[in-house]
């Protein structure tokens, strides 16, 4: 059922979302634009050599990001979510700037490793901070609004191929500009952003140590189901983000720049709209049933399944783009409700840690998906079979989320002690 947000926090709550949207934008732009620059980067750094090495480099970011995420979440829960966000932004922006200066595959691997480490601290802290400011009736739409920044970042990253192809710009200039902007934005952000203070749900709760936190989360059956639900469709999500520009380029014989735009703009635009629509619908459904967010998220997953299958078919480019749009509609509804569902099953003082564990499992598996997809491409594997497998996993995820049982406020309070 819906909770009422304290009126005194309304303006600060939405200011928090607005301040974090540019950070979310950079979080995904800085990591994502490399995928649309594949031809230029591999041509410039010749010792990358193979598709498998490219996939390994993409996977390296994810594995480091994944394993650092629980630590990032724990630090955000234990200390300051505001400072965690700002420090993460500054450090990954510095590494983005450096990425534009690498000269070898080994240096690129080092840069992506440090990028994964520094970015891992942002999402758990930011979403926990938003959830703390937005109780109940605005939580899904607030998270959805934040995710719009992510989708815009992926769209902008899709134009990376256009920048890389431009004779007066090149792929390195994009990393330089984004890195400088991020470092500059971190300075006013640390002054303007606010942790939730005396009225916070965590105000009277002590965050347990990391070792004590893990059993509280991993022995929670609904949390385990949410981790699986979060992970299975994300395998396809990472392939769409990281490999779809190359897939469209190879399949339809279009330029690197056009492929990058087509691989990101349609589905991310749809996700932008339906992240907010899905958030509003979920918040309203919560007035009718405590399973409102679960049901809206499951509806999104029902759209993701045929979309993934459609992306693997060797039809026309219109067919491929239509499948991407359907994927974006479902993804927006799914993505805007993961943290709000987590808030229904995990106490407030463990939210960032919980989301960090979700990232650990999901993104580490995504790293193997990136690497494995590169190996399969080298071996000439059938794309319809590969995407069909991902669609089946998303179908399993949709069935799992329906088994999650929200906990009452009293149960959550007891679990927090």
Query: Which secondary structure element, helix H or strand E, spans residue 414, and what is its range?
Result: helix 409-416
Whether residue 2 is contained in a domain is answered as: no
What's the pLDDT band for 10 if we cut at 50, 70, 90? Answer: very low
| Between 283 and 295, residue with greater pLDDT | 295
Closest residue by Cα to residue 242 from 132, 371, 330, 335: 371
pLDDT in tens, 342-371: 999 998 888 888 998 998 899 888 878 877
In a domain, residue 336? The reply is yes
Confidence bin at 333 (pLDDT 50/70/90): very high
- pLDDT at position 1: 41
Of residues 271, 276, 272, the one with CA closest to residue 303: 271
Q: How far is CA 81 from CA 130, 131, 197, in A?
A: 10, 11, 11
- In whole angstroms, give the CA distance from residue 179 to residue 338: 29
Other Cβ atoms less than 10 A from the Cβ of 361: the count is 18
Q: What contacts 85, CB < 8 A, 6 or more positions away?
A: 20, 23, 76, 121, 122, 125, 126, 129, 189, 193
Query: By C-alpha distance, which of 338, 326, 340, 319 is closest to 269?
Result: 326
Give Cα 215 to chain centroid, integer Å.
25
User: What's the domain count of the chain?
Assistant: 1
- Average model confidence (pLDDT) across the chain: 86
1 belongs to a structural domain: no
Percentage of the chain beyond pLDDT 70 is 93
Q: What would the 3-class secondary structure string for 219-240 be?
A: CCHHHHHHHHHHHHHHHHHHHH
DSSP 257-313: HHHHHHHHHHHHHHHHHHHHHHHHHHHHHTTT-TTHHHHHHHHHHHHHHHHHHHHTS
Query: What residue numbers bound the domain in which 158 lies?
Result: 7-196+209-416
- pTM score: 0.77
Length of the chain: 417
Please determine, for residue 205, whether its predicted confidence score (pLDDT) is greater than 80: no
Cα–Cα distance measured from residue 28 to residue 33, given in angstroms and rounded to the nearest whole number: 8
The answer on pLDDT for 392 being more than 50 is yes
Burial class (CB in 10 A: 0-12, 13-18, 19+), 3: middle
pLDDT of residue 198: 41
Rounded CA-CA distance 270/348 in Å is 31
Whether 201 is in a domain gets the answer no
Return the pLDDT at 9.
Answer: 43
Q: Which residue has the higher pLDDT, 403 or 78?
A: 403
**What b/e sequence results for 114-138 when a residue is b if at least 16 CB atoms lie within 10 Å of its CB, and e otherwise?**
bbbbbbbbbbbbbbbbbbbbbbbbb
136-143 mean pLDDT: 82
Per-residue pLDDT band for 83 (boundaries 50, 70, 90) equals very high
CB contact set of 359 (below 8 Å; sequence gap of 6+): 65, 66, 69, 70, 73, 120, 123, 124
**The CATH number of the domain where 281 resides is what?**
1.20.1250.20
Query: DSSP character for 200?
Result: S
Distance from the Cα of residue 90 to its chain's centroid: 19
27 Cβ contact list (under 8 Å, min separation 6)? 89, 92, 119, 122, 123, 149, 150, 153
pLDDT in tens, 232-258: 998 988 888 878 888 898 889 888 778
pLDDT in tens, 18-52: 999 999 999 989 887 887 788 888 888 888 878 77
pLDDT score at 206: 59
Segment 94-123 mean pLDDT: 92
Please indicate, yes or no, if residue 232 is contained in any of the structural domains.
yes
Q: Is residue 204 part of a domain?
A: no
- Residue 105: pLDDT above 60? yes
Q: How would residue 3 be classed by pLDDT, with cut points 50, 70 and 90?
A: very low
- 155-182 residue pLDDT tens: 888 778 788 888 888 889 999 999 999 9
Report the percentage of the chain scoring pLDDT > 90: 41
Give the model confidence (pLDDT) of 180-193 as tens digits: 999 999 999 999 99
219 within some domain: yes
What is d(CA 80, CA 55) in angstroms, rounded to the nearest whole number?
Answer: 35
Would you call 375 exposed, middle or buried from its count of C-beta atoms within 10 A (0-12, 13-18, 19+)? middle
298, part of any domain: yes
Least confident of 58-67, 190-199, 220-229, 272-281: 190-199
C-alpha distances (whole Å) from 173 to each of 27, 152, 226, 245, 247 are 18, 20, 40, 20, 25
CA 140-2-273 angle, to 5 degrees, is 25
Element (H, E) at 47: none
């Amino acid at each position: 059922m819906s909770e009422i947000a304290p009126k005194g926090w309304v303006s600060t709550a939405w200011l928090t979302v607005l301040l974090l949207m540019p950070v979310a934008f950079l979080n995904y732009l800085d990591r994502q634009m490399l995928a649309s620059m594949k031809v230029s980067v591999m041509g410039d750094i010749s010792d990358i050599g193979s598709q498998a090495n490219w996939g390994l480099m993409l996977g390296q970011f994810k594995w480091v990001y994944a394993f650092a995420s629980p630590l990032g979440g724990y630090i955000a829960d234990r200390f300051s979510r505001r400072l965690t966000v700002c420090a993460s932004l500054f450090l990954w922006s510095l590494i983005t700037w450096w990425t534009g200066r690498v000269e070898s595959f080994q240096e690129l691997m080092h840069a992506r490793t440090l990028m994964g480490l520094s970015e891992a601290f942002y999402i758990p802290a930011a979403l926990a901070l938003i959830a703390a400011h937005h109780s109940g009736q605005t939580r899904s739409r607030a998270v959805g609004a934040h995710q719009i920044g992510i989708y815009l970042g992926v769209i902008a990253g899709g134009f990376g191929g256009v920048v890389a192809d431009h004779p007066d710009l090149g792929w390195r200039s994009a990393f330089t500009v984004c890195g400088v902007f991020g470092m500059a934005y971190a300075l006013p952000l640390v002054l303007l952003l606010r942790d939730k203070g005396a009225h916070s749900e965590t105000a009277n709760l002590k965050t347990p140590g990391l070792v004590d936190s893990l059993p509280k989360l991993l022995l929670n059956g609904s949390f385990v189901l949410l981790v699986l639900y979060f992970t299975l469709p994300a395998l396809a999500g990472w392939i769409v983000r990281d490999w779809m520009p190359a897939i469209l380029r190879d399949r339809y014989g279009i330029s690197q720049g056009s492929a990058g735009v087509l691989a990101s703009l349609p589905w991310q635009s749809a996700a932008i709209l339906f992240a907010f629509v899905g958030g509003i619908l979920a918040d309203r459904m919560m007035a009718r049933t405590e399973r409102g967010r679960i049901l809206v998220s499951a509806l999104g997953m029902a759209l993701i399944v045929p979309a993934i299958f459609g992306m693997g078919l060797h039809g026309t480019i219109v067919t491929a783009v239509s499948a991407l749009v359907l994927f974006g509609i479902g993804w927006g509804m799914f993505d805007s409700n993961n943290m709000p569902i987590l808030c229904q099953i995990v106490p407030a003082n463990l939210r960032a840690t919980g989301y960090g564990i979700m990232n650990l499992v999901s993104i580490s598996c995504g790293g193997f998906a990136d690497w494995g997809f590169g190996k399969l491409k080298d071996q000439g594997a059938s794309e319809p079979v590969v995407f069909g497998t991902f669609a089946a996993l998303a179908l399993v995820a949709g069935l799992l989320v329906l088994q999650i049982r929200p906990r009452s406020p009293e149960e959550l309070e007891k679990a927090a002690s």
